[in-house]
Structure 1
Amino acid sequence: MSDFHYSVDADGVATITWDIENRSMNVLSMEGLAELDAHIDTALGDDAVKGVIVTSGKPDFAGGMDLNVIARMKEMAGDQPEKGLFDGIMSMHATLRKIERAGMDPKKLKGGKPIVAALPGTALGIGLEIPLACHRIIAADNPKAKIGLPEIMVGIFPGAGGTTRLARKLGAMAAAPFLLEGKLSEPKKAKGVGIIDEVVPGDDLLARAKEWVLNATDADLVKPWDAKGYKMPGGAPYHPAGFMTFVGASAMINGKTQGVYPAAKALLSAVYEGALVPFDTALKVEARWFTHVLMNPSSSAMIRSLFINKEALEKGANRPQVEDEKVAKLGVLGAGMMGAGIAYVAANAGIEVVLIDAQQEAAEKGKAHAEGILDKGMKRGKVSEAKKAEVLGRITPTTDYSALEGCDLVVEAVFEDPKIKAEVTAKAEAVLPEDAIFATNTSTLPISDLARASKRPEQFIGIHFFSPVDKMLLVEIIRGQQTGDRAVAKALDFVRQIRKTPIVVNDARFFYANRCIIPYINEGMRLVREGVAPALVENAAKLMGMPLGPLQLVDETSLDLGAKIAKATRAAMGDAYPDGDVDEVVFWMVEQDRLGRKAGAGFYEYDAKGKRTGLWSGLAEKFPQAEVQPDLITVQHRLMFVQALEAVRALEQGVLTDIREGDVGAILGWGFAPWSGGPFSWLDMLGAGFAVEVCDRLEADHGPRFQAPQMLRGMAEGAGSFYETSRGRAA
């Protein structure tokens, strides 16, 4: 079974077609790289071959590197993983450099064979690095195609020459959005910035590629950086303009990453140092920095959580073994922001949707929410008029529950009130087919309690979306005490259809995500009550890689919602309720009408457009700042451990059953320090022994919420880790 297929036509043009069997998208493996290398050797060694087209047998060119390869490189190198990685990366450079030089005389730069990349669709990561080594890149005019180097998003950077080639092709400044931010472009825009050379109609792609090969001259084959007198666009680091570019880029990286993402700094180092030396040396510099990043535990954890584990969950790693349960017709009860968002993502994925609300006007408003999202997409050139009409045509807004007839899944998204939820459950089940699955979208209410209103509790499940639905990738599926496997499979298949990432958890108050994020928010408010400067609280969180400080996060979610959750939790827990100190802050803020961003006043001040203008100085009047402030590390430990320990308790209590879901869910659900790979990866990175030491110290100083769970303490005593346990090995 081959990944690459080789053929030569009557005109002497060889075609290397990338087409991996039984995969929808090409990804590069080490075996595939060896095949490509051998085919290039064959073409260059055959006098009858005039040139080469590298293309794909699939609608897209390639989705990148199989990142499992990195783990294999390390394993194969035994006690020298750095050497194994470096040698493996240099073998990629050797193949791509062979394509680039194409048999030409190294001194005269003549006699090479033209090699063109013909891209029918998406080309990402190594799927763009290979074309960048070719002499010309021609792409099909496919607006759905994505061209780019997104490696930075999973904690690495383009390490097969993409960093060096793109920086030298475009200049450091122009290449920065594509390298440092992982920006993706459709083909015409990619041509506009100079990443690719031509865009042609899809039907003409191979013909145009062949035409170029047969007419290419020696000069067409010489890359700018191989030509005499090459100067880097925008200036090299020692040029005044180039110097300022790198100063600005360094400031931008530190501003965006707060110094906790090693890949971004390493990438900039590779570009900077590579620009000071000849091209082949620059490739070695890139390989060394890439190896450095791959050996960093942060990058390993990010790759594991954001690529390997995320992909496994999206493919149904924990799906019950039942038949296909894709959704054909969806009912959504409640057309507020959440229900409207669910209706949009489902319709956008091709599912027929019935959107029900108590008032027709409200139902229509829910559909209008979808129209607003599509209009924004049209302004950005992402959505056509026909696509908009098609999506909106799938949404039927109504007050009539009989419209639910034929729905195989219903998602209820009404107010967080058990009585209202029970009423709509009964109304819906009265007209739904016997085999329909009923899902409730709730963030706090136990599913098993809500299922009492259902005639078929085994077909009742929780599906917790995060707001805004169209942007948030995570969906939390909650299995109630009586929920059956078929309901779980239905929910997972639905989440896959709408192209989001699912985690499956067992029923408990707050489930998984909220039980971890609420303590983070609460700890921030506790610190303020204790007299810690709000700026220290917020910046301590951001310096740990949290996207939002706890005070900003509670402003975004609203303080009156926090007050409602606090009252409901206190009623449910009674004397065991642990957050009385926090309530003092929350209820006082609500009394001051400082409800958060939506009210234009919260822990932060806001201007007329809703933009934050700074922390509210009035906090100090109620909660005076202490003369002696705690050190940064202590504040960070409090904010991070309060989340991570709750994640461990969720695993210990069986709410979580798979640490992969715990790590992926934490990053996608509430932004837990993505550089860490998630709370379980972070604790493994710290080491259980050290983590328990910190817990014991925090518990002594601040109370039982920092008590180390027995699972963590057991690992400390046995020198184990989460990813070495039976659960971890399954990951």
Structure 2
Amino acid sequence: MTHQQLNHFTLSLDDSGIYRVALDVPGRPMNVLDENVMGELEQIVNELETRSDVKLVVFKSTKESGFLAGADVEAIELIDSTEQADRLMKQGQQLFERIETLPMPTLAVLHGPCLGGGLELALACDYRIARDNSSTKIGLPEIKLGLIPGWGGTQRLPRRVGLKHALSMILSGKHLSAREAMKIGLVDRAIPPDQWRDEVVRVIDTLVRGGSLRRTRLSTEWIGRWFERLPLVRNMMVTVTEKRLAGKSKNYPALGAAIRAIVDGYQRDVDGFETERREFCQLINTPTCRQLLRLFFSRERARDMQTWAPNSLRLIHGDPIRRLGVIGAGAMGAGIAQAAAIRGYGVHIKEVDADAVGQGSARVDRLISKYSRHKQWNEFREGELRDRITLGTDFHLFANVDCVIEAVVERMDVKQHVLAEAEKEIGKSAILATNTSSLSVTEMAQSLSRPDHFAGLHFFNPVHRMELVEVVRGEQTSDATIAQLVSFVRALGKTPIVTSDSPGFLVNRILFPYLGEAILMVREGHAVGTIDRELRHFGMPMGPLQLLDHVGLDVALHVARSLGAVMRDVDDVIEVLTPLVQRNQIGLKSKRGFYDYRGKKPQPRQTSEVVDFMVEPASQERFTPDGLSDIQRRLVYPMLAEAIRCEDERVVEHAWAIDLAMVLGTGFAPHRGGPLSVVEQIGTQTVLANMEHLRLQHGERFTPPEKLLLGAKQ
């Protein structure tokens, strides 16, 4: 076997008895575990079980991109029966169990992503070492697909890191850095990149000589793990976790399934692997799993350059964007600068005067300090990041940048003036972009001499958390500019969606009718807390009124004024928001909006405190059952209708991008898949009938889209 040519593995056995198993799946940017890879791995294990001359087996990847991204998600999507799922899970469990019981020690050498089935393979090994750099990501993300680990992850991870850490990793799907993984005992060594080669050789030599990599555990960690062995303590931890997740488990059944599999792994009279397998098989065809899989593939398509710029290799001339300029060091400008610096970009921020530079510098410092604490960086690493960002008042410092992003106040005249000034200072090949949430990119470009080099880049707040970026194409924006900006957004680790220059672009256009309707409901006397609670039950991360407070009612008022061309009754929304803004009750940043934030917890305010006058609610109509409450229906249907209109008007080129953008940009209930998916689930006939009732009850803003009328007739 050591001389046999396999398609996915390269094998070698040296004179020291070191057997190297190197994985490189051809034609894939990342290694994945599919049927062919697993078949060859089984052949390798067959031989290893019979060898007496092997002193150590080393599993590694020869792809620089990483160790193993997990099981092939495309293959998971094709599973169409419980029997097929059970067979595939059993094969994987049995194969990894055989690796775990090989007669010689085994070592997994990790770099880059080690996720899902990749980590389950590594957990079956005796030892794990990992390269300590930013590309190393170690975790079990199956919960994000509505599934649980199915090849032993729910059983081996708790044994390795304890119940507390295992619950956290599996139920959140979060990944760890090499250093974080070493801290909890998941890997035995986290090796700096500059010591990687020498340390790997040293580790292998230690193991071949019969040594061990096990570390003496810290006393506090040892005490915690000892307590976890007590059934009473474990039961208490599980109960607390179940209560914390009770509100989510109905929509995300994988949460309860993971807990049951982990708990059974501690039972002496229960086969935890069988529980894991059974729970996985029951999840594979749930609506939640299918919608999350669909969103996964949509995200992959959105991050593919060919989706938005089919001729990207021909279109992008010269070097990619590496040096960035930002105009304005407010919340958005500072956030964009931080996000770029984290990814290695040098960033220069231009402000109007010395005072603004000082305020902007302090804002950048706070962002970086908070990020550094979260990452547990030392002062040197924090200083390195801060040094990538400079601030000043001179435009001439933009002479050598590749792209300038304007992030000043949302006023057309101000933006046009600032952009025209910046264009004079940048190179002819450099790109200008505006971070606007609602203003017309095409109108803004009228102040420029090179409008083909100009587009919108709509980042969402807070920049460091929000994955979506809308790349807005103006009427004169060139394909090459779009290609460059899509490439830049991807380099920031974010997901681009290219939109046309429509009022509100995509996300705000679909979202605002929902937010506006919530405001109108308050004007009718509906309680703030009740409205938000109903929408959290629908699956939103927060209710519409609390979201408005987080966005800022001043920002919402500005967006409302820009949407008059596409939204009926927007004047009524403006009428409610204007006095709140005038009283500086603009939400979280002023401590009062629809909620009062001056105490320990936000408290919903009384309706009479928020609106200056109330109107009589309309009479109730009888609705066709659609699984929604009256409040949910009234708020969600405007989003469904606007999503249909955006699809019909080709605001984005691909319909699937509408659902993805709403999930990433607003947190739209992921288990429902997005607004267009909700229409499909409810059925066009039912949606149409209920919209007609809503129109009769509340007015013409609920007029069904023409495409919905046509779809219902077919």
User: TM range, normalised to the smaller chain?
Assistant: 0.7 to 0.9
CA change 1:191–1:353 in 2 (3 A) is closer
Secondary structure of the residue that 2:49 maps to in structure 1?
Answer: helix
C-alpha distance in structure 1 between counterparts of 2:681 and 2:163, whole Å: 33
> Offset of 1:387 from its aligned partner?
3.9
Supply the distance in 2 between the matched residues of 1:402 and 1:620 (Cα, whole angstroms): 47
Determine which of 649, 652, 659 is the counterpart of 1:653: 649
**Per-residue deviation at 1:189?**
3.3
Q: Please give the alpha-carbon distance, in whole angstroms, between the structure 2 residues aligned to 1:187 and 1:567.
A: 49
Alignment-mate amino acid for residue 579 of structure 1: V
What secondary structure sits across from 1:41 in the alignment?
helix
Q: Which amino acid aligns with 2:69?
A: G
**Matched residue type, 2:537:** L
Q: Deviations over 1:29-68 (max 9, x none)?
A: 2221212121111211234334422222245422222211
The reply to whether residue 208 of structure 1 matches residue 203 of structure 2 is yes
Structure 1 gap segments, 5+ residues each: 75-80, 103-111, 221-230, 719-731
Matches of 1:479 and 1:273 in 2, distance apart? 53
In 2: Cα distance, 1:340 partner to 1:15 partner: 47
Partner of 1:248: 240
Q: How does 1:627-646 map to 2 (within 5 A)?
A: 633-646=629-642
Structure 1 residues 368-517: aligned runs within 5 Å: 368-517=362-511
* 1:721 alignment counterpart: none
2:292 equivalent in structure 1:
302
Equivalent in 573, 588, 592 of residue 601 of structure 1: 592
The SS at the match of 1:502 is strand
Question: What is the distance in 1 between the residues matched to 2:560 and 2:79?
Answer: 50
Work out the CA distance in 2 between the residues paired with 1:191 and 1:393.
Answer: 29
Is 1:70 equivalent to 2:76 in the alignment?
A: yes
Give the corresponding residue for 2:344: 350
Q: Indicate how the Cα distance of structure 1 residues 689 and 157 shifts in structure 2: closer, same or farther if over 3 A, else same.
A: farther
Structural mapping, 1:287-366, within 5 Å: 287-305=277-295, 307-316=296-305, 317-321=307-311, 322-324=314-316, 326-366=320-360
Flag the 1:619–1:477 CA change in 2: closer, same or farther, 3 A. Answer: same
Number of residue equivalences: 682
SS of corresponding position for 1:583: helix
Kindly state the Cα deviation for residue 470 of structure 1 after the two structures are TM-superposed: 2.2
Q: Residues 328-375 of structure 1: CA distance to partner in whole angstroms, max 9, x if unpaired?
A: 332222222212222222233233333222213323433443332222
Cα distance in 2 for partners of 1:632, 1:115 equals: 53
Cα contact 2:291–2:673 (8 A) shared by 1: yes
Letter in 2 for 1:67: V
Of residues 568, 575, 578, the one that matches 2:569 is: 578
Residue 682 (structure 2) pairs with residue 686 (structure 1): yes
Question: Are 1:116 and 2:107 an aligned pair?
Answer: yes
Closer, same or farther: CA 617–520 of 1 in aligned 2, 3 Å: closer
Of 550, 554, 557, the match for 2:551 = 557
Within 5 Å, which residues of 2 pair with 1:72-111?
72-74=78-80, 81-102=81-102
Q: Which of 43, 51, 58 pairs up with 1:53? A: 58
Name the CA distance, whole Å, in 2 between partners of 1:548 and 1:28: 37
Aligned residue identity for 1:661: A
Question: Could you say if the C-alpha distance between residues 197 and 332 of structure 1 is closer, same or farther in structure 2, counting changes exceeding 3 Å?
Answer: closer
Pair 1:403–1:592, CA change in 2 (3 A): closer
Partner of 1:392: helix, strand, or coil? Answer: helix
Give 3-state SS (helix, strand or coil) of 2:679's partner: helix
1:54-90, CA deviations, whole angstroms, 9 ceiling, x for partnerless residues? Answer: 222245422222211212333xxxxxx2222222222
Q: What CA deviation, in whole Å up to 9, does each residue of 1:618-669 have, x standing for no partner?
A: 4488559989999971211222222222112111111121123212211111
Give 1:539 deviation, angstroms: 0.7
C-alpha separation between the residues in 1 aligned to 2:620 and 2:246? Answer: 25
Query: Measured at CA, do residues 292 and 705 of structure 1 come closer, stay the same or move farther in structure 2, by a change above 3 Å?
Result: farther
TM-score normalised over the length of structure 2: 0.88
User: What SS class does the counterpart of residue 116 from structure 1 fall into?
Assistant: strand
Mapped contact 2:111–2:135 kept (Cα < 8 A): no
- What are the superposed Cα offsets for residues 364-399 of structure 1, whole Å, 9 maximum, x if unpaired? 433443332222233344445444444433333222
Q: Distance in 1 between matches of 2:286 and 2:549?
A: 35
Say if 1:198 and 1:350 are closer, same or farther in 2 by CA, change over 3 A: closer
The match for 1:29 among 28, 34, 43 is: 34
From the superposition, tell whether residues 245 and 590 of structure 1 become closer, same or farther in structure 2 (CA, over 3 Å): same
Deviations 1:405-442 (A, max 9, x none): 23332212121111111111221222332333221111
Task: Name whichever of 358-367 and 656-665 sits farther off.
Answer: 358-367
Deviation of the 1:717 alpha carbon: 4.5
Matched, 1:2 2:7: yes
Counterpart for residue 722 of structure 1: none
Q: Identity of aligned pairs, percent?
A: 33
CA 1:197/1:345 → structure 2, altered by over 3 Å: closer, same or farther? closer
Compute the displacement of 1:175 (Å): 1.9
Paired with 1:191 and 1:467, the residues of 2 have a C-alpha distance of 33
What is the rounded CA distance, in whole Å, between the counterparts of 1:90 and 1:716 in structure 2?
Answer: 45
Moved more, 11-20 or 378-387: 378-387
Deviating above 6 A after TM superposition, structure 1's stretches of 4 or more consecutive aligned residues are 624-632
How far did 1:171 drift? 4.6
Q: Say which SS state the counterpart of residue 436 (structure 2) adopts.
A: coil
**Aligned partners of 1:97 and 1:446: how far apart in 2?**
59
Corresponding position: 1:669 with 2:665: yes
CA distance in 2, matches of 1:513, 1:550: 14
- Whether contact under 8 Å (1:138, 1:209) holds in the other structure is no
Q: Is the aligned partner of 1:702 residue 2:693?
A: no
Residues 291, 670 of structure 2: 8 Å contact kept? no
Contact (CA 8 Å) 1:649, 1:709: kept in 2 or not?
yes
8 Å Cα contact 1:425-1:454 kept in structure 2:
yes
